[in-house]
Amino acid sequence: MDGIDSAILTHLQRDARLTNRELARLVGIAPSTCLERVRGLRARGVITGYHAAVEPRALGRSLQALVFARLRPLSREVISGFQTYLTNLPEVLSVFVVSGDDDFVVHVAVPDIERLHAFLMDRFSARREVVGFRSSVIYLQTGSRVLTPLPDAADRD
């Protein structure tokens, strides 16, 4: 990764619909060079895909929450099976397998508090491997949609 690759990534994360010619102009390189750089980033697994960002509220999902779950018995098979189960649920946005007191953190988006309650009762409490769960409603979400390489420790000195 160099400065040009970082600039390409920054621009594509802000607007993945940029044409190669527009991207090349923004980065200050020839279109053919830009195309090769983007192909190289994809080949190395840095760029894994392109997608449209969607606002959950626009789809009637105005309530988001994090659900923290504990499973037993803990085994690779149980964790993998529960992860697969969760990723196939339409309410689920993200699934994280974590360390600490909880085994999973699940980001969900639903229309209202009643649907969150139904989701928890029908989807979590019905599972035998779930020995406990709790939820936290998300009031506000912020974050960067642009991921850039971190400087090496030597670069910070």
Instruction: Please report the pLDDT score of residue 152 as a whole number.
Output: 77
Closest CA to 4 of 37, 46, 47: 37
3-class SS of residue 22: helix
Provide the residue ranges of all domains of the chain, joining segments of one domain with +.
Answer: 3-43, 56-138
pLDDT of the residue at 147:
87
Task: Give the pLDDT confidence score for residue 39 in this predicted structure.
Answer: 98
Evaluate whether 55 touches 93 at the Cβ level (below 8 Å): no
Evaluate if residue 94 carries a pLDDT over 80. Answer: yes
**What mean pLDDT comes out for the span 109-136?**
96
Tokens encoding 48? 């894994």
CATH 3.90.1010.10 fits 3-43, yes or no: no
The whole-angstrom separation of Cα 131 and Cα 136 is 18
Please report, for residues 5, 9, 23, 31, 147, the alpha-carbon distance to residue 19 in angstroms, rounded to integers and kept in the order given. Answer: 16, 14, 6, 10, 20
| Cα separation, 61 vs 86, whole angstroms | 18
Q: How far apart are CA 150 and CA 157, in angstroms?
A: 14
Q: Which of 44, 30, 64, 89 is nearest to 142 (CA)?
A: 64
Q: Which top CATH class is 56-138?
A: alpha beta
Tokens 């923290």 appear where? 68
pLDDT of 3-58, one tens digit each? 999 999 999 999 999 999 999 999 999 999 999 999 999 999 999 999 888 999 99
pLDDT of residue 52: 87
3-43 matches 56-138 in fold: no
Query: What pLDDT score was predicted for residue 153?
Result: 60
Lowest-confidence region among 38-47, 70-79, 137-146: 137-146
- For 44, 80, 136, the CA distances from 74, given in Å and listed in that order, are 34, 10, 24
- pTM of the full predicted structure? 0.84
Model pLDDT, residue 155: 60
